Copies of this chain bind each other. A is one copy, B any other.
């Protein structure tokens, strides 16, 4: 009786952006484990057991999945977007690292998905045309001064900066502080995009300059993209705008 854990990225929000590999892995699962809204998003037969949990319990959830697999279950651990980008993959391997030796014999695979940053970029144009970085703005697992320092270094490097978890009810002030910090490092004319709920029915995009950008435009479902000196807007006759970052970088 050998179980397995498959850690699956469901893509940004609609089934058209989920890979056939993810569907295949889901179809083999006897158990679905994850944050409630992601587990509920998966269509599965009635025999599949759904284990929903709260958003803050990643490590407990990971251990639960590994225990189920040790009992011979085929567990699909699901995340939105890509499970390796601020999703469940790291929590599962952390649980293995600190868990019983037997967990290392388990069949554990990760199925990649289209991450939110890629979906947001596609919706906007081509803002990731150059080098970029991807950061979580949450300070649940890292000190806030580290976040601010990383933002300053990323701006100095000329990276486009993608921010996950920009704002929540429990962390209402951090995006404002981050934007203020970046205004000291970058030209105020740099474009900033707020991309909300990509691929879902309530998808929305808002563009501004760094000077104008207002943290209250973001919520838990928003990805915030900070452009760089090589990021440009292309206005269109119908009033819409494309955002792209030039591949060419001038000498510093």
Interface of A with B (CB < 8 Å)? 7, 9, 11-12, 15-21, 24, 58, 82-85, 89-94, 96-97, 101, 104-105, 108-115, 118-119, 121-123, 125-136, 141-143, 145-146, 149-150, 153-154, 156-159, 232, 234-238, 242, 244-252
- Contact residue among B19, B118, B141, B234 (Cβ-Cβ distance under 8 Å from A18): B19
Contact A234 B135 (CB under 8 A): no
> Can you list 21 contacts pairing A with B, beta carbon distance less than 8 Å?
A18-B19, A82-B114, A84-B129, A85-B118, A90-B246, A94-B246, A97-B244, A105-B236, A110-B125, A111-B122, A112-B122, A130-B142, A132-B134, A133-B134, A134-B134, A143-B250, A145-B251, A145-B252, A149-B157, A150-B157, A153-B153
Contact A131 B128 (CB under 8 A): no
Contact B128 A85 (CB under 8 A): yes
Given contacts A92-B126, A110-B125, A143-B251, 16 further A-B contacts (CB under 8 A): A12-B112, A18-B20, A83-B122, A89-B121, A90-B245, A104-B237, A112-B118, A131-B133, A133-B133, A133-B134, A142-B248, A143-B250, A143-B252, A150-B157, A154-B159, A157-B157
Contact A97 B20 (CB under 8 A): no
- Contact residue among B17, B84, B122, B242 (Cβ-Cβ distance under 8 Å from A118): B84
Contact A17 B158 (CB under 8 A): no
Q: How far is the CA of A242 from the CA of B159 in the complex (A)?
A: 29
- Contact residue among B84, B142, B159 (Cβ-Cβ distance under 8 Å from A126): B84
A19 with B16, Cβ < 8 A, contacts A142-B248, A156-B153 known = yes
Q: How far is the CA of A245 from the CA of B90 in the complex (A)?
A: 7
